[in-house]
Structure 1
Amino acid sequence: MIKYPILFLIGGIFSLMVAMGIGRFAYTPILPLMQNALHFTDALAGYLASSNYTGYFIGAILAGVLPLKKNKVFYLRASLLASILTTLCMGLSHSYILMLVLRFVSGVVSAFIFVLASSIVLDKLSATGKTNWSGLFYSGVGFGIFFSTLLIPSLNNLFGWEGVWVGLAIVSLILAIFVWLWLKESSNITLNKDEPLNEIKVPPLKWLPYLIIAYGLEGLGYIVTGTFIVSIAENTPVFKMDSSFVWIVVGLGAIPSCIIWSTLAKKCGFVKSLVFSMLLQAIGIALPVIWLSQTSLILSALLFGATFMGITTLATTLARQMNPSNSSQIIGYLTAIYAIGQLIGPTIAGVLSSYTQSYNTSLLGAACVVLIGGLLLISGVKYERMPLTKSLTIK
């Protein structure tokens, strides 16, 4: 049994704050600062983002195929240390080539941490009958985005963009200490097959390709806003606030989103909730094109924050329900297809934005891609309406 389940959960939350909220997504609010200082074009910024997502793709593949089952905590800790080092080194160099390498390595270890932490935490919550805590676990990404972005203006004013990376690395180190102390794996934990979550109606494994393809399209579409929304605000004359504020809004939206979407999924069905969340996200992505104002950018950020981690929570939880015996592998596959979309999206969007001198084409394309992904999932709604049978329960 887990003696202190709340500390274990907090350790999981902190691991996502380090790897995702800081290691991956801090780049978005720091990007305008780096562009102003180093004169990056949007295309170069897109390549730098895609380097991170290429690493994330490779890390997800490795996490899914390597025999990590018996040493999950060890690999998680090693990945956390590597994530902290890459964040630190981003502030110690002005070399674009080195930054490409650092963002690539950061992507690899971020994927390892996400897959391993998700597997460890979801398995243990399942074993102890606390699956309702899964939404709290994934809120770590939102907490990481929110708190790191709050620090960025002060760190930038004092030490410049280099000091922002170094300061966030120090914050990551402090959080990682608690992960090291609290997130441990017990060999006597076994999956609880009588757990109530297993009684939720889910599609059969043959439907899994639809989920994988839709999740890949989500990765391709959402990352355009995830990479450029702060730069869009920075370059919008009607936006009178500090551009990093939109990323704070993203974090605020993301913190409760996983809990809200998980609760909705248990009442209405995971597939229906996924379709609805992707529709909302598509609207949020396209909003600044349809109506460009300070208000629309804030609403876009809120809708984005309220959906992107909620979609991840729903997709990974649903996939795990469909194949709980090998959660690391199935989450690894999902994360890999998600990462393929992510590594393509910023490059296309960056080139289009540089060519057209506008983000509108990129945003509209991204919104359409997410919408198509949501429509692909509609075929799974029928399984949630069927009576619970032996073929639909998880064994």
Structure 2
Amino acid sequence: MRTQINVKYLDHPDIQEADSILRSCVHCGFCTATCPTYQELGDERDGPRGRIYLIKQLLETGDISEKSQTHLDRCLTCRSCETTCPSGVKYGRLAEIGRGIMEEQLERPFKQKLVRWLLRKVLPYPSRFGPLLRLGQLGRPILPAELKAKVPAKQPSLAWPQSNHARRMLVLGGCAQSSATPNTNVIAARVLDKLGISLLMAPEAGCCGAVSYHLSAHEEGLAFMRRNIDAWWPEIEAGAEAIVISASGCGAMVKEYGEKLIKDPQYAAKAKRVSELAKDIGEILVKEDLAQLQLQNQGRKTAVHCPCSLQHGQQLGGLVEQILQQAGIELTRTRDGHLCCGSAGTYSIQQPEMSQKLLSNKLEALTIENPEQIVTANVGCQLHLGSKSEVPVKHWIELLDPR
């Protein structure tokens, strides 16, 4: 694709990268076949190829309209198009750059600005999000059905295993997961403890930075990344084998720390090392002898939802299924596994209509063989699917809990 970048952007720090990505697109349109929003709306501007043209237009003319902003906002950034693209176009990165410039240039309506600001100032902070969630859980019995479905039931607290194995790994505590599904990491720690690995939490670490970064508050997102690097670095220097991440959305972001901070002379090398150490919990377990867990026969038919952040962002599609089959768990057939469930970080809040359509489609695709439970690898997908599912929705690590 030929480009002629507007002179007003020539000094932008990411413009050369954006130009290179634009030039790598050959207009083939293969991406439209796997784009969830294009499949629903049938509008070229609501598919990757059309959105690439919108970003190209912005960078060449210097202008962006509210209509173009709407089409870019509807993008889930699921990156299914990247998995499909024969030319290796880094659409997700181009969308980040384009949205960042758009956010600086075009004033949003007050309601949108307020919602985005609240998401950034509440969701990444467990000390803020946690009390609000608990308040919602207390009032859950009297909430209208639509709201009640969006508030996850409170989980009984499980104890973190006390262990001191020679093998040590760090874990990302996260933000929403630490409040909404706090036992996910506890169970991950119990599983790894049984395998002779101690899982350590760095109290100073928190949100991976994805919430802010994906809402175009890039500097705010980078600040979260630097804080996590500082919190983990002493244990990394002491020999921690890996940084284990049980929320695949966070995992996709931490694996990009090296790219995001490559221009920061103080953090570039450390960020690169952190990204190298970042592993989805599945990447750890697939290399271990799961017979040591001495699992009982699960006896429940299970459907697996592979989050976009795991299959497209981290390119680890099929990993969860491999581990669960190895553990003797019966998996049911599903369809359209490449399509997003509609959670997509904060998308379900900002684009509720499209999100609900995709959720209904996904639940239909997951239940074609009447599973008794659904498992996934990301807290956002887990809560989103659970809000409408007629069968329990869990994190897949729960099926390996040695108890």
Higher helix fraction (1 or 2): 1
- Give the alignment's TM-score, normalised by structure 2: 0.27
Which has the larger share of strand? 2
Q: Work out which structure has the larger RCO, using CA pairs closer than 8 Å and 6 or more positions apart in sequence.
A: 1
